[in-house]
Amino acid sequence: MGLGGYSMSGKKSLLWAYILWIFGGIFGLHHFYLRRDRHAFVWWTTLGGFGIGWLSEVFRLPRYVKDVNEDPQQMKEVIKRIHHNKKPPFSMNRFTGMLMVGYSWGQMMMSAVPPDNFWGINLRYLNYLIPLVTALGVWTVGNIGREQGSLKWPLLAAYASYPIRFYIYDETVWFTLMVLATALTFDSFSKEWRRTPKRRNLPTRIAILGLCAVLYLSMWCSYLYFYGTITDSEGDEVPIYEALYHFFTSPWWLDVKQCLLDTYQYAQHHGWYEVWKQIIDLSDPHGEQNAYKVLGLGPTATQQEITSTWRKLSRENHPDKVKDPVQRSAAQEKFMEIQQAYEILSNSKHRRNRRNKKDNSEPTPNKE
C-alpha cells in the first residue's frame, strides 16, 4: 500500500487519510475520501462527533484504510468475525453514537417546526416527523462500515414510543426514552453484517450527500428564521423573520432593487460589456474624479483651467506660508494632494489627446 496517494489499482493512501483527518476531519473529509459517506455526513452534522469522535479516530484510520483497500489480512479478520458471530456483536461506541446522533437530529427537527401559523398555515403537524428524523439518525450510524440494518424496526419503535410525550411533560425525559427505544430496537432486530459494500460512482455520491445536506441545512434555516433574534442599536431583540420582512420593505432595499433592475434592463439593450465599462469608470481607477474634487473643478474643465487653478491653490496652500509646525504638517499634506491631483488630470488629458490624434490619423477604409 503506497503512502503517497493513489496507486495504480486506485487504492487509498493512509497518508492522505491522515492529512484530511487533520485539516477537515470534523467535517468528515477523510471519511468521504475513504468512501464512508454515511460516516462523513454524520461527522459533518455533528462537527466530528462533537469533537470526541474525531479525536478518537487517530488510531482507527489504519483499519479504515485497510478495509476500503480490502487488505487480505483485514478481509480474513472480517470473514472470521462473520463466521464467529451470526450478527455484529454489541458495541458501546456504536450504540452511544446512535443515541447521540438520533437525539441531535431529532432535536434539530423539533426546533425547526414553526411555533405559529406561517402564511396562514398551521405547520405544527410537522412535529410528527420528529420520530422519523430520530430513527434516521440511529439508522445512519447503524449502517456505517461493515454493519447495516433496515430502517423499518427503528422507525416503528420511534413512532410507538413517541406518544410518551403526552404523558411525560419533561421534554428531556420523553425524548431520551424515545431515542433509547429506537437504538435498542435497531441493535436487537435490524442489525446484520454488510458482506458486500456498495460502490457508487462519484457523481452519485455527491448528489446523495448534497441532497442530505440541503435537507439538514433547511432545518437549521427554519430554526434560525422562526426562533432566532438580532439585537438593534438600542439593545432590543427583534425576531429574524420580522427583521427580514422590514428589511425587504425598507427604502434602502427598494432603492437597491430598483438599481439592480435598471442595470439589468440597460444590459439587455446595450450588453453586459457596456455595464462592466461603466462599473470600471464609476470605480475611478485613475483617481480622476477625486482629483477634480480636490481642485474644485468639473469634468469639462480644460487643461488651461486645470493649470490655472493648480497654480492658484499651490500658492494659497504652500507650507512655507505656515509657521506653526502642526498646521504646517497639515498644509504639507494638502499641498501634496494638490500636486498629485494636477499630475493625474494632466496625464489623463494628455493620454486622451494622444489617443484622439491616433484615431484621427488612421485612414478610413474605402467603401466600394
CA-based angle 5:8:10, to the nearest 5? Answer: 65
The angle that helices 202-227 and 92-112 make with each other, rounded to 10 degrees, is 50
pLDDT at 20: 96
Nine cell digits for residue 15: 497518508
pLDDT at 122: 80
Task: Specify which residues 148 forms β-bridges with.
Answer: 192
**What does the alpha-carbon distance between residue 28 and residue 79 come to, in Å, rounded to a whole number?**
27
pLDDT at 294: 86
Give exposure, 93-105, as e/b (b: 16+ Cβ within 10 Å). Answer: ebbebbbbbbbbb
3-state secondary structure at position 235 = coil
User: Which domains occur in the chain, in start order?
Assistant: 1-84 (no CATH), 250-283 (no CATH), 285-352 (1.10.287.110)
Q: pTM for the full model?
A: 0.70
**What does the alpha-carbon distance between residue 14 and residue 274 come to, in Å, rounded to a whole number?**
53
Q: Check: CB of residue 306 under 8 Å from CB of residue 295.
A: yes
pLDDT at 39: 96
Residues constituting the chain: 368
pLDDT at 1: 37
Q: Output the tens digit of pLDDT for each of the chain's 368 residues.
A: 333 333 334 789 999 999 999 999 999 999 999 999 999 999 999 999 999 999 999 999 999 999 999 999 999 999 999 999 999 999 999 999 999 999 999 999 999 988 777 777 788 888 899 999 999 999 999 999 999 999 999 999 999 999 999 999 899 999 999 999 999 999 999 999 998 888 889 999 999 999 999 999 999 999 998 888 888 777 788 888 788 888 888 888 888 889 889 888 988 888 888 888 888 877 777 788 888 888 888 888 888 888 898 888 888 888 887 777 777 888 888 889 888 888 888 888 777 777 766 656 655 555 44
pLDDT at 7: 38
pLDDT at 359: 59
